[in-house]
Structure 1
Amino acid sequence: MVAIDNTPGAPAESPQRILLVTGLLGAGKTTALRTLEDLGWEAIDNFPIRLLDRLLETEPGQARADGGSAEANTPLAIGFDTRTRGFDPQGIIERVKSLSAQPNLSVTTLFLDCSGAELERRYNETRRRHPMSEDKPAASGIAAERDLLAPLRRWADVVISTSDFTTNDLQQAIRQQFGAISPSRTTLTISSFGFSKGTPPLADLVFDMRFLNNPHWDETLRPMTGKDQPVGDYIRNDPAFDEAFERILGLLQLLLPRFAAQGKAYVHIAFGCTGGRHRSVFMAEQIARHLRDAGFSPTLLHRNLAARGANLLEGAQAVQV
């Protein structure tokens, strides 16, 4: 049971989440740890298990040996395998049992398995020698390693077989199994720009707003921008606006969760018009507002809004639209 501080106003502390990642060499431990790191875990590979107690003695926020500080309740993933110094499966199990009994820790063991034939194929592709095969074929080393790891496989809380997995398949499996503990964080940027200055080079999705009526041709609206209400009213009155807006918003609400599920760290959605002052600005503002209402947290940027001469470019190039 987790100890609860009954002091008024004091939040109850959740246990430190620890994930031990092990398995057969070549089964995907490095990929798993990198994926966990992308999910917000602090990942350590090839850590000597005999030092595990000392590592976990570090209080949240206390300085670590590397000069950093361990943030409170940041989940910690620790990778080890048969190459780790002092590797002893039974000893590791006893140590994990002891740690699991501590109320301030929540310890899970992940074992990555793989068929012998697939591991042989991977070793042949990489031309690497299995550490336990010595001067024998890789199959001998794989069999010896499997026997050594058998107690850990039986003990593990989660076993993932990567025999038929691509790297992306394993990443997906790790996200599905452990993403809820530390949700994937996709940085969403919504921007406006003017085609006259070029398309943003790193945009993932680009929407061209030049099909909408151009406020530049109204002399009273020309000095304004897409942030001003009269410009917004003008654009909304375009017969094509409502349907286009709903379709674009619906598409983004469909795609953004799927980007996050695929582990995409950054998504940049750009809206363009000729000069980047009116139509693109208004659409970017409205899409960002609706996405915030839907639970997303976009950063909003207007690349050409303050650029001198942008209003002239609207008129100069509008005849080409």
Structure 2
Amino acid sequence: MRMIIVSGRSGSGKSTALNVLEDSGYYCIDNLPAGLLPELAERALIHTELAQPLVAVSIDARNLPSHLSRFPELLAEVRNRHIQCDVLYLDADEETLLKRFSETRRRHPLSNASRSLAEAIHDESQLLGPIADLVFDVRCLPNPYWKPELREQSGLDQPVIDYLAAQPDVEEMYQDISSYLLKWLPRFAASNRAYVTIAIGCTGGHHRSVYLTERLGQLLQQSLKNVQVRHRDLS
């Protein structure tokens, strides 16, 4: 069985992602209460008529905060049933989200008479923290895209690796992130966290984030078990 959990801030494209998954053969459920996730997985395993069932669910800020805070535990329950379960977390910068909601009649689910749209967008990222885990934005680093000879390559290619490795800001960012992870990941584990997702983001997702993800993955694999490295935007 394959399950995909679609989440992210309102206006980031979750509905579009669900529509694409549905067109690809997934049985899709929008706004699932997070507490029902293990039960849904169990029922899908038992009752489906498909040899390899495909299920996609959307879990977002419309959930109760108490349910969202238990998300890592609930996700572990699903995976302990030997179900391949991936989390697709969508996001956009706050300026883009503000523009999208300002141009539509749709109300942000967290906005009300006492909470502005900007406050709702900011608060939503905090509420969804247990789903996103750790996200590092590295768009401030030198971008190989602006080097014509490097543009069509990725952070897996040696010329891009050499370019980024020679940048002091890149090395400083790597040292800061690696120090943080080496210090705090063991404490996550000590608090019974079965899974932690670490996301590295840059514009395009081909150069800087790939390079840093590879380096961090190699570092963490030396001391931690079951470290998986994935590059979402590489074909």
Q: Report the TM range for the smaller structure's normalisation.
A: 0.5 to 0.7
Q: Give the number of equivalent residue pairs.
A: 145
Specify the code of the residue in structure 2 equivalent to 1:100.
R
2:203, 2:116 → 1: CA distance?
22
Structure showing greater radius of gyration is 1
1:41 aligns with: 26
2:2 aligns with: 17
Alignment of 1:24-103 (within 5 A): 24-58=9-43, 60=45, 62=47, 69-85=48-64, 88-103=67-82
2:19, 2:101 → 1: CA distance?
21
Deviations 1:32-69 (A, max 9, x none): 0000111111111111221222222225572xxxxxx5
Gaps of 5+ in 2: 134-195, 205-230
Shift of 1:89: 2.6
Q: 1:36 to 1:101 in 2, by over 3 A?
A: same
Matched-pair contact (CA < 8 Å) for 1:109–1:158: no
1:130 aligns with: 108
Q: Does structure 1 residue 119 correspond to structure 2 residue 104?
A: no
Specify the code of the residue in structure 1 equivalent to 2:74.
R
SS at match of 1:93: helix
Shift of 1:74: 2.1
Gaps of 5+ in 1: 1-15, 63-68, 164-175, 181-321
Normalising by structure 1, report the TM-score. 0.40
Alignment of 1:68-217 (within 5 A): 69-85=48-64, 88-103=67-82, 105-135=83-113, 136-154=115-133, 155-156=196-197
More helix, by proportion: 2
Q: 1:24 to 1:49 in 2, by over 3 A?
A: same
2:69, 2:86 → 1: CA distance?
16
Specify the code of the residue in structure 1 equivalent to 2:63.
T
Normalising by structure 2, report the TM-score. 0.54
Q: Considering only aligned residues, what root-mean-square deviation do their CA atoms show, in Å? A: 3.0
SS at match of 1:19: strand
1:162, 1:71 → 2: CA distance?
38
Q: 1:122 to 1:149 in 2, by over 3 A?
A: same
Specify the code of the residue in structure 2 equivalent to 1:27.
S
